Amino acid sequence: MSEIAIPRLGLVLLVGVSGSGKSTFARQHFAPFEVVSSDYCRGLVSNDETDQAATADAFDVLHYIVGTRLRRGLMTVVDATNVQRPARAALVKVAREHDVLVDAIVLDVPDTLAVERNETRPDRDFGAHVVRRQARELRTSMGQMRREGFRRVHVLRGVDEIGSATVVREPSWNDRRDLTGPFDVFGDVHGCASELRTLLGELGWELELDGDGRAVGARHPEGRTALFVGDLVDRGPDTPGVLRLVMGMVAAGTALSVSGNHEAKLVRALKGAKVQVSHGLEASLAQLAEEPEPFRDEALLFMDGLISHYVLDGGALVVAHAGLKEAYHGRASGRVRAFALYGDTTGETDEYGLPVRYPWARDYRGRAMVVYGHTPVPSAEWVNNTICLDTGVVFGGELTALRYPEREIVSVPAEREWYAPVRPLVPAPASREPSVLDHDDVGGRQFVETAYAGRVKVPEENAAAALEVMSRFAVDPRWLVYLPPTMSPAAASTLDGFLEHPSSAFDEYAADGVESVVCEEKHMGSRAIVVLCRDEDVAARRFGISGEGAGVVYTRTGRAFFQGPTGAALVERAREAFAPLFASLGSDWVVVDCELLPWSAKAMGLIRDQYAAVGAASRVVLPAASSLLAAAAARGLDVSGLAERTARRTADAAAYRAAYAAYCRPTSGLDGVTLAPFQVLACEGRTPAVEEGHLWHLDLLGGLDHPLLTPTRHVVVDLASATSRDAAVDWWSSFTAAGGEGTVVKPASPANGRVQPGLKVRGREYLRIIYGPDYTGSLDLLRHRTLGKKKGLALREHALGVEALTRFVAGEPLWRVHQAVFGVLALESEPVDPRL
């Protein structure tokens, strides 16, 4: 019984004449979708599995399917005769393009049997000569196939061997998804044995010493595993010491190491190949020459056996010496190895003669964390969920390790400069990458994973509108860590004279199982997100923004409030006003949700164009109509109905004008402008927006005392108590009658993802500027409003906003934060009744 081992991720070609039993074999050993058959593809493109005229098109389709599956990381079996060399070569090429291994399984049966089988099948009406030709081609192929790029060619001879064969799937060498850590990942050591021992000690590792006091292994009491990103050797003072320790750890199973480019070159040198002895290779060769031969042999064997990258922890962690782009994770090919060892070289060299590398990490969008070394950097910094740990210990920098999954960075300084760098260590860049955002991050249809609402779909047409507004008007995306979601009103009230009333919101929350709610005053101004840092250094460190001040205040569409010096002055005043939060939250930065007052400060254009214009037109036309109607009545015409309606509309128009005028105050620059804060969205290490109840926020913010700030009045309602509800209704009635916009009702403590985060209940007079001056005359119609879509959007936008904050707080890459923020803006362009 033969056991056939095929790659777990790879391509398998079945090879055999027509009638050799390939399809039957495939059915027995592989799942239906894993097998792509040429006959089936012929049928797809011609309605006839035997139509030879369709062969070229059929193979186009077959190659496309195979390529797509391999790109997606799926093992694939091709069921075709594959007896001709060009046919096999085309498939080997597809496998190469996707950097996977390819095996062949040859089913070798006697020609007579194949001919016999074909004769019994109604769809195989070709003659025996076809099978005999294929058999000749197969026999010619057998000798060549081993040189055609297959990892293995498995040959099964005869019906019995074919029938009894079993298939097993081997994981590739780099596939260590079974190891889940925790890990300590070490940057380039370069023979700095002493620093390595120190760093291991810092991290709690216990060294094992041999009789001569040399470290020959290490073990962590908590069972951590060490991962080395390669370049253990060369340049430094004690390459043999480093190798001895790491080899011991790897042998004992407490460490894994990938190969660096220096190991690869040292191996070639030790094997006697002609290599240029430079870049510290001379140090290793000299030091190893001092060692006994068995150690040298062992070290050569060890280094020669190092593979170029590992995929670990279920695919969440990838370690490679020079990093690895996502398409190469878990793949095996020459170019994957070259990338892992040398990086994405452009073929150019810089002024020091060193190869120029393409900054692949800037474009990285994968979910797996990629940890690497290779290029010395002054300090380890995250770039799109990737990190370089080579902090140049051998050049007098530091030896750095990353604790995974803690994402904690631990370094020890070099004891001295062991080797003079060719190129000075690049000083910390003055400002970071201006932009690492790509159109693909936001354009087209997107799906954003959120903790609160699962996968949120952002339709393409919404993204297009958002792109226009975002790119033309929004502040720097690095500031833009949040956009506020839309909010649904409570269900229409049935109470006489009211379209909205707090009791509807209370009923709705009670039905959702919420026991206590907070009614917050809804300020009528412009929504403002305030991002503040303790100083510009914090802005540079945490937000990556230099020379643009220590904060920003932006609108619901991400646009800065006020241009130029006024905008800067607002940030400065806000920093003064919110300064106590830095201490109370223990954070150097804070994001606060506010309303900027008065409305007219920002919305003057809108007021002038829309609200005041309606007021002006009504103010003039209605009295003119009334006087004409009076004249007609004096003539004895019956216009009483019309006159009455006109009088009522005159009163409505006056009430409408009063409603918008209440939110207009003359302001000049910042004079008269205030901020009404109501929620702390995020600060270092925390996302109070989801972690804390609303009273916590209101208490904290209420404790601030500064002329810039307007407090947010609120009451707490026990939904089970009629008295408590009535008191809240009275409170709402009194301040809406005095011109207040209304209230926002929110669950007092954080609720689950299906409960609305807030419901607005707007005042009767305020609603005139939303539903029109005369809306109170059409309540019968207006009560029939559908809230489903609005509520759905409110939940999804809330989930996206919170997702953006948590991603930012967790230090995720800019594009991940931006994707969620962009989603909010995109969903805000969704057509939904704007009066809601």
Partner 1 sequence: MLLTVSTTHTPARDLGYLLHKHPDRVQQFTQSFGTATVFYPEATDERCTAALLLEVDPVRLARRRERTPDFSLAQYVNDRAYAASSLLGVALADVFSTARSGRCDSRQELADGPIPLEIVVPVLPCRGGPERAHRVFEPLGWQVVAEPIALDEGFPEWGESRYVSLRLTGTLRLADTLNQLHVLLPVLDDSKHYWQGSDEVDKLLRSGGSWLVGHPEREWITRRYLGRRGALARVALTRLAELGDDTEETLEPPDDEEAAQPEEARVPLNRQRHEAVLAVLRELQAARVIDLGCGTGSFLRALMDDPSFTGVAGVDVSASSLEIAARRLRLDRMGDRQRSRVELFQGALTYRDRRFEGYDAAVLMEVVEHVDPPRLPALVDVVFGHARPGAVVVTTPNVEYNVRYEGLEGPRHPDHRFEWTRAEFATWCHDVASAQGYDVELRGIGDDDPELGSPTQLAVFRHV
| Interacting residues with partner 1 between 639 and 668 (CB under 8 A) | 639, 642, 645, 649, 653, 657, 661, 664, 666
> What whole-number distance in Å separates Cα of residue 412 and Cα of residue 197?
10
Report, in Å, the least distance between residue 441 CB and partner 1.
7
* Residue 109 phi, psi dihedral angles, 5° rounding: -120, 160
Q: State the sign of the Cα–Cα–Cα–Cα dihedral 71, 72, 73, 75.
A: negative
Report, in Å, the least distance between residue 257 CB and partner 1.
35
Report, in Å, the least distance between residue 345 CB and partner 1.
17
Report, in Å, the least distance between residue 445 CB and partner 1.
14
Size of the site for partner 1 (CB under 8 A): 88
Report, in Å, the least distance between residue 773 CB and partner 1.
8
Report, in Å, the least distance between residue 364 CB and partner 1.
13
Of the candidate spans 214-222, 583-591, 701-709, 763-771, the one that interacts with partner 1 by CB under 8 A turns out to be 763-771
The answer to whether 689 touches 679, Cβ cutoff 8 Å, is: yes
C-beta of 534 vs 657, nearer to partner 1 = 657
**Position among 100, 517, 629, 799 found at the interface with partner 1 (CB under 8 A):** 629
Contact partners, residue 620, CB within 8 Å, separation at least 6? none
The answer to whether 481 touches 591, Cβ cutoff 8 Å, is: yes
Residue list 244-263, contact with partner 1 (CB under 8 A): none
> What whole-number distance in Å separates Cα of residue 304 and Cα of residue 659?
81
Residue list 494-553, contact with partner 1 (CB under 8 A): 526, 548
Q: Which of 712, 763, 716, 317 is nearest to 523 (CA)?
A: 712
Instruction: Kindly state whether residue 832 participates in binding partner 1, applying the rule CB under 8 A.
Output: yes
**Position among 71, 279, 541, 559 found at the interface with partner 1 (CB under 8 A):** 559
C-beta of 28 vs 471, nearer to partner 1 = 471
C-beta of 371 vs 560, nearer to partner 1 = 560
C-beta of 190 vs 657, nearer to partner 1 = 657
C-beta of 266 vs 787, nearer to partner 1 = 787
* CA 716, chain centre distance (Å): 38
Binding mask 664-693 for partner 1 (x = CB under 8 A): x-x---------------------------
User: DSSP labels for 298-327?
Assistant: HHHHHHHT--SEEEEGGGTEEEETT---GG
DSSP class of residue 395? G
C-beta of 287 vs 526, nearer to partner 1 = 526
- State the residue for tokens 């493109």: 45
Of the candidate spans 57-65, 94-102, 638-646, 730-738, the one that interacts with partner 1 by CB under 8 A turns out to be 638-646
C-beta of 100 vs 662, nearer to partner 1 = 662
Report, in Å, the least distance between residue 733 CB and partner 1.
24
Residue 197, helix vs strand vs coil: helix
Report, in Å, the least distance between residue 579 CB and partner 1.
24
Burial degree of 674 (CB within 10 A; 0-12, 13-18, 19+): buried
C-beta of 326 vs 415, nearer to partner 1 = 326
Of the candidate spans 60-68, 92-100, 394-402, 635-643, the one that interacts with partner 1 by CB under 8 A turns out to be 635-643
> What whole-number distance in Å separates Cα of residue 81 and Cα of residue 20?
9
Contact partners, residue 219, CB within 8 Å, separation at least 6? 205, 206, 208, 252, 254
Residue list 336-365, contact with partner 1 (CB under 8 A): 363
Burial degree of 657 (CB within 10 A; 0-12, 13-18, 19+): buried
Of the candidate spans 111-119, 137-145, 410-418, 468-476, the one that interacts with partner 1 by CB under 8 A turns out to be 468-476
C-beta of 317 vs 552, nearer to partner 1 = 552
User: DSSP labels for 153-196?
Assistant: EEEEEHHHHHHH-EEEEEPPTTEETT----EEEE---TT-HHHH
**Position among 417, 473, 685, 721 found at the interface with partner 1 (CB under 8 A):** 473
Of the candidate spans 88-96, 317-325, 496-504, 775-783, the one that interacts with partner 1 by CB under 8 A turns out to be 775-783
Residue 41, helix vs strand vs coil: helix
Helix (H) or strand (E) holding 410: strand 408-413
Binding mask 275-294 for partner 1 (x = CB under 8 A): --------------------
C-beta of 348 vs 705, nearer to partner 1 = 348
Write the single-letter amino acid at 793. Answer: L
> What whole-number distance in Å separates Cα of residue 727 and Cα of residue 713?
14
Report, in Å, the least distance between residue 835 CB and partner 1.
6
**Position among 284, 462, 503, 736 found at the interface with partner 1 (CB under 8 A):** 462
C-beta of 367 vs 619, nearer to partner 1 = 619
Residue 553, helix vs strand vs coil: strand
Contact partners, residue 761, CB within 8 Å, separation at least 6? 489, 490, 500, 501, 502, 504, 505, 732, 742, 743, 744, 745
Report, in Å, the least distance between residue 2 CB and partner 1.
48
**Position among 153, 632, 715, 751 found at the interface with partner 1 (CB under 8 A):** 632
> What whole-number distance in Å separates Cα of residue 202 and Cα of residue 207?
12
C-beta of 404 vs 611, nearer to partner 1 = 611
C-beta of 278 vs 435, nearer to partner 1 = 435
Q: Which two tokens stand for residue 680?
A: 């702390």
Report, in Å, the least distance between residue 711 CB and partner 1.
22
> What whole-number distance in Å separates Cα of residue 701 and Cα of residue 678?
7
C-beta of 295 vs 771, nearer to partner 1 = 771
C-beta of 268 vs 541, nearer to partner 1 = 541
C-beta of 44 vs 621, nearer to partner 1 = 621
Report, in Å, the least distance between residue 322 CB and partner 1.
21
- Using left for φ > 0, alpha for ψ between -120 and 50, and beta otherwise, residue 570 falls in alpha
Instruction: Kindly state whether residue 772 participates in binding partner 1, applying the rule CB under 8 A.
Output: yes
Residue list 162-221, contact with partner 1 (CB under 8 A): none
From residue 329, give the alpha-carbon distance in Å to each of 92, 444, 605, 648: 20, 26, 53, 73
**Position among 112, 471, 566, 584 found at the interface with partner 1 (CB under 8 A):** 471
Strand order in the sheet with 526-533: 551-554, 526-533, 589-597, 674-683
Of the candidate spans 245-253, 283-291, 461-469, 581-589, the one that interacts with partner 1 by CB under 8 A turns out to be 461-469
Binding mask 581-620 for partner 1 (x = CB under 8 A): ------------------x--xx-xx-xxxxxxxxxxxxx
Peptide bond preceding 688 in cis form (omega within 30 of 0): no
Burial degree of 91 (CB within 10 A; 0-12, 13-18, 19+): buried
Report, in Å, the least distance between residue 430 CB and partner 1.
11
Residue list 5-44, contact with partner 1 (CB under 8 A): none
The answer to whether 265 touches 303, Cβ cutoff 8 Å, is: no
Instruction: Kindly state whether residue 754 participates in binding partner 1, applying the rule CB under 8 A.
Output: no
C-beta of 231 vs 652, nearer to partner 1 = 652
Q: State the sign of the Cα–Cα–Cα–Cα dihedral 504, 510, 511, 514.
A: positive
Binding mask 419-448 for partner 1 (x = CB under 8 A): ------------x-xxxxxxxxxxx-----
Length of the chain: 836
